[in-house]
Amino acid sequence: MTDTATETVAERIARILCRHKVEFIFAQSLPSAVILAAEAAGIKQIAYRQENMGGAMADGYARISGKVAVVAAQNGPAATLLVPPLAEALKASVPIVALVQDVECDQTDRNAFQDFDQIELFQSCAKWVRRVHVPNRIDDYIDAAFTVAASGRPGPAVLLLPADLLRAPAAPPASPRSKCLGHWPLDRTRPPEEVLDEVARLIASAKAPIIVAGGGVHGAGAPEELTALQHEASLPVITTNMGKGVVDEFHPLSAGVLGSLTGPRSLGRHSLPLIEEADLVILVGTRTNQNGTDNWRQIANSATVVHIDVDPIEIGRNYEAVRLVGDAAETITALRTALGRVDLARRNRERPRLEERIAAIWSAFERDRRDVATATSRPIRPERVMAELQSVLTPDMTIVADASYSSMWVVGQLRAPGAMRFITPRGLAGLGWGVPLAMGAKVARPQNPVIALVGDGGFAHSWAELETIVRMQLPVITILLNNGILGFQRDAETVKFGRYTTACHFADVDHVQIARACGCPAARVEDPDDLTDLLERSIRAPTPMLIEVMTDPEAHPPLSLFANMDAAA
């Protein structure tokens, strides 16, 4: 590495990134001074093809690695294309530091090439945006960006770096810094004892308590603590879409994902009474958003709500609640200690009946979906694809889904055989993020299988990254459900307007040829009996794989929005 007496600001940035244990930077060679210095320092560039995909790759990496992800971009158009993935990360509470080049210091507001008000640009999609003006503050600003991203409710921080500043000599910092801030959560906070004791008493006395667990449990690394709470207090657990995988769904007290998946052939159709009848609802790491609560109508007004969240603003946003402000892992651990001071005899007495009820819920779900999960028809039912994927599912896998129907098939049809990671872009639910999220996840855990489920609509946003997958040697398995339509758009418009627009149908596309043109192995599946063997071989292979499955365009997930339409069919 360059001698500190002669290093530039860009080289100092690389040195600081190494201090924060940054191993990868998601970039497309710009800012060139930073990327050259980073690569010289041993930081590997994951070079994306499309400028709107790098942020999503960083997102997937951060979710799986437990480290703050770093993405870099050029000023102007590339910066504007960072807005969507950073907005997803902001809503989904994912820590990313974005290093964005800016025009030279004396060129601002002079209509310089690709000049734009980037502070204003990023204000809506980041926790914090700053422009560095002087070389001797670079240590302060990089550390501040990591601190903001990883502390409190995690999210993106953006640092704007004028091109001439990066080439300038880096003056020694007034106060040398040595701490590593590259992991998250950066701080572990917990509520006061008196509130924990209050909640312990509520759990002990409740007739029908239930836990609703969200993505914040994954973010805090709290699945183990939540599983212990579930077991020790005999509490049933349902999860939101982003919370899927925080508990083993084969545990006798786990009732899977609920949210808006309550239509015919859904698990939620049978599990919904668990939350509707609850007199105590314990929310853990969830925003209580529209999709996670089916339009905020599942929790009874008479129920007492307890809300554990690191973000105090989320507590009470939609449901008045007993406030447990703190890190999910630390708070659950403290709550388990408080529960040791109360009598849980009532919970223990109720457990056999509750386990029997939840087992009946899963059995009813299996009966309801058996005809589609075992269907031999062509085009292939997506439920059959999920059944075949279920047969090879293991807890060490990471399952990633694109937005829209892909997410719903994954969270509603797969049953987690242990606490494991599912990634769905449910912050803003933008199409096209499935593949780059999976790529970031694979960078984070190269030794573990990563499987992405995407639709043909979403895949069109990101198929150029197949070349990146091959070039960067990321053996991601992509299952492409090709039904030739924008399924949700067509179905939602049909329900709301009785017809749909001409944008919903696509021309035929041979995605296998696209993949092979990029050097990625690929196969098209038209017979459902071919799926399991192909999946097993793809998981064992050291190379990426695209599996294009020709699926039934009339199939859709059992969302509550379509319940009346399905009942009339």
Q: Taking 60 as the threshold, does the pLDDT of residue 129 lie above it?
A: yes
Alpha helices in 285-416 (DSSP H): 290-293, 328-339, 345-373, 382-390, 405-413
Query: What pLDDT is stored for residue 106 in this prediction?
Result: 83
What is the arithmetic mean of pLDDT over 135-148? 96
Q: Which of 442, 414, 440 is nearest to 425 (CA)?
A: 440
Query: What pLDDT is stored for residue 308 in this prediction?
Result: 98
Question: What amino acid is encoded at 82 in this protein?
Answer: L
Mean residue pLDDT of the chain comes to 96
Alpha helices in 9-162 (DSSP H): 9-19, 32-40, 54-65, 77-80, 83-92, 118-122, 138-150
Query: What pLDDT is stored for residue 85 in this prediction?
Result: 97
Query: What pLDDT is stored for residue 568 in this prediction?
Result: 57
- Report the percentage of the chain scoring pLDDT > 90: 93
- Mind listing the pLDDT tens digit for each residue in 423-460? 999 889 889 999 999 999 999 999 999 999 999 999 99
Q: Taking 90 as the threshold, does the pLDDT of residue 411 lie above it?
A: yes
If one counts every other C-beta atom within 10 angstroms of the C-beta of residue 431, the result is: 21
Query: What pLDDT is stored for residue 112 in this prediction?
Result: 79
Query: What pLDDT is stored for residue 562 in this prediction?
Result: 87
- In this structure, is the dihedral angle defined by the CA atoms of residues 452, 455, 461 and 466, taken in order, positive or negative? positive
- Mind listing the pLDDT tens digit for each residue in 309-335? 999 999 999 999 999 999 999 999 999
Q: How confident is the model at residue 110 (pLDDT cuts 50, 70, 90)?
A: confident
Q: Which residues contact 555 (CB under 8 A, 6 or more apart)?
A: 372, 381, 382, 383, 483
What is the arithmetic mean of pLDDT over 504-522? 97
- Mind listing the pLDDT tens digit for each residue in 477-501? 999 999 999 999 999 999 999 999 9
Query: What pLDDT is stored for residue 116 in this prediction?
Result: 87
- Mind listing the pLDDT tens digit for each residue in 4-47? 668 999 999 999 999 999 999 999 999 999 999 999 999 999 99
Query: What pLDDT is stored for residue 551 in this prediction?
Result: 98
Query: What pLDDT is stored for residue 151 in this prediction?
Result: 97
CA–CA separation, 395 vs 418, rounded Å? 5
Query: What pLDDT is stored for residue 217 in this prediction?
Result: 98
Q: Taking 70 as the threshold, does the pLDDT of residue 2 lie above it?
A: no
Q: Where are any strands of DSSP class E within 506-544?
A: 522-525
- In this structure, is the dihedral angle defined by the CA atoms of residues 199, 289, 438 and 257, taken in order, positive or negative? positive
What is the arithmetic mean of pLDDT over 59-80? 97
Q: Taking 60 as the threshold, does the pLDDT of residue 349 lie above it?
A: yes
CA–CA separation, 244 vs 411, rounded Å? 7
Query: Would you state the structure tokens that stand for residue 257, as one six-digit string?
Result: 């994902």
Query: What pLDDT is stored for residue 113 in this prediction?
Result: 80
